[in-house]
Amino acid sequence: MDFEQGFEATASFQGERRKIIQPTSLNDPKLAKLKEVLVEWINSTLKSEHIVVQSLEEDIYDGLVLHHLLRRLGDVHVEVDDIALTTTAQMRKLELVLQALDQKLGLSPQDDDAAKWNVKLLHSRDLLATLHLLVAMVKNFQPSLPLPPNVSVEVVSLEVNKSGIKSDKQIEYITSQSEDGDGGSNKDDPIDELLKLDAHKIATVKKAILHFVNKNMSSLRLQVVDVEQQFADGVFLLLLIGQLEDFFIPLYEFYLSPNGESEMVHNVDTGVGYPQ
């Protein structure tokens, strides 16, 4: 595995962990939009200082941009050389700037957010760590800036242990799932997002729904085998709502054996309107 080979070259001690973004996630339009917004934010913030960022991976790693952002936004002056040419000088500068930055962000080394970035990750041009840090800075210094909501990437999590390198794939969110960068007007509908999933993932969701339904309908001695078919007339929907909300819907308020589309629609409407 190429990821493991690349990680093995930099991992020198047991227990070291690293997350690497899957190449397919790098093409995500939401990720590209986030990078664009962050670059524009940095450039507008540092315009008066004639600093221009073109690439988050290539222009953040040496500490110069972070140093100027911290001074500009947080009014924090770190006593370091403005230009650090050697690797040692750059990492020392990054260390001092990050210490001051984490303190300004109200983070301690034990905080989960602070663990998402460090000197080594940033200096190695780690995009994931860079994004996490910049997003945290935006939230703290300019929370009104709209960031693309729900930006996530698939990462390979790698860890060195006694037996070699352990790898695991997972989804990691960079912007909060609750953030709404478009003020809610263009927020994706959850059902639309669900239907965008691969077929096998949709099948897994259906199985989970089926399990949930049957678990809550078991006391009625009813079993659902096809959610789409058995929920179409609204009867099972009403019975499930009654079970979940712990109340009984009078039989005269819906059609137990609906005849025709209008009676089915009436049942569904009744379910949507309960409890009244």
Read off the pLDDT of each residue in 10-26 and give the average, rounded to a whole number.
70
Residues 194 and 151 in one domain: no
In a domain, 29, yes or no: yes
Q: Rounded distance, CA 39 to CA 55, Å?
A: 7
Residues 163 and 199 in one domain: no
* DSSP reduced 3-state for 158: strand
For residue 21, list its beta bridge partners. Answer: 155
In a domain, 46, yes or no: yes
Residues 227 and 135 in one domain: no
Residues 40 and 79 in one domain: yes
Long-range CB contacts for residues 71-74, cutoff 8 Å, separation at least 24: 72/45, 72/46, 73/45, 73/137, 73/141, 73/142, 74/101, 74/104, 74/141
Numbers of helices and strands, H then E, in the chain: 12, 3
Domain boundary among 112, 141, 173: 173
The reported pLDDT for the residue numbered 8 is: 43
Residues 31 and 84 in one domain: yes
In a domain, 184, yes or no: no
The reported pLDDT for the residue numbered 256 is: 86
Of 82-86, 117-121, 123-127, 191-195, the poorest mean pLDDT is in 191-195
The number of beta carbons lying within 10 Å of the beta carbon of residue 49 is 12
Percent of the chain with pLDDT over 90: 25
Per-residue pLDDT tens over the stretch 258-275? 888 888 888 888 776 655
Residues 211 and 156 in one domain: no
Q: Rounded distance, CA 29 to CA 31, Å?
A: 5
Domain boundary among 173, 208, 233: 173
Model confidence at 194, pLDDT cuts 50, 70, 90, reads low
Domain boundary among 173, 200, 234: 173
Residues 159 and 258 in one domain: no
Q: Rounded distance, CA 125 to CA 154, Å?
A: 18
Residues 45 and 145 in one domain: yes
* pLDDT exceeds cutoff 60 at 172: yes
CATH number for the domain that contains residue 199: 1.10.418.10
Q: What is the mean pLDDT of the chain?
A: 81
The C-alpha angle with vertex 57 and arms to 3 and 178, in degrees rounded to 5, equals 85
Domain range holding 230? 190-273
In a domain, 183, yes or no: no
* pLDDT exceeds cutoff 50 at 184: no
In a domain, 6, yes or no: no
In a domain, 127, yes or no: yes
Residues 205 and 166 in one domain: no
What is residue 125's DSSP assignment? T
In a domain, 185, yes or no: no
Residues 105 and 201 in one domain: no
Residues 150 and 229 in one domain: no
Number of structural domains the chain divides into: 2
Per-residue pLDDT tens over the stretch 39-98? 999 999 999 988 999 999 899 988 899 999 999 998 888 887 777 788 888 889 989 999
Upper half-sphere CA count for residue 169 (Cβ side, 13 Å): 7
Q: Rounded distance, CA 198 to CA 72, Å?
A: 45
In a domain, 205, yes or no: yes
Among residues 242, 207, 243, 241, which one has the least CA distance to residue 227?
A: 207
Residues 34 and 100 in one domain: yes
Rounded to an integer, what is the distance from CA 52 to the centroid of its chain?
28
The reported pLDDT for the residue numbered 12 is: 45
* pLDDT exceeds cutoff 50 at 182: no
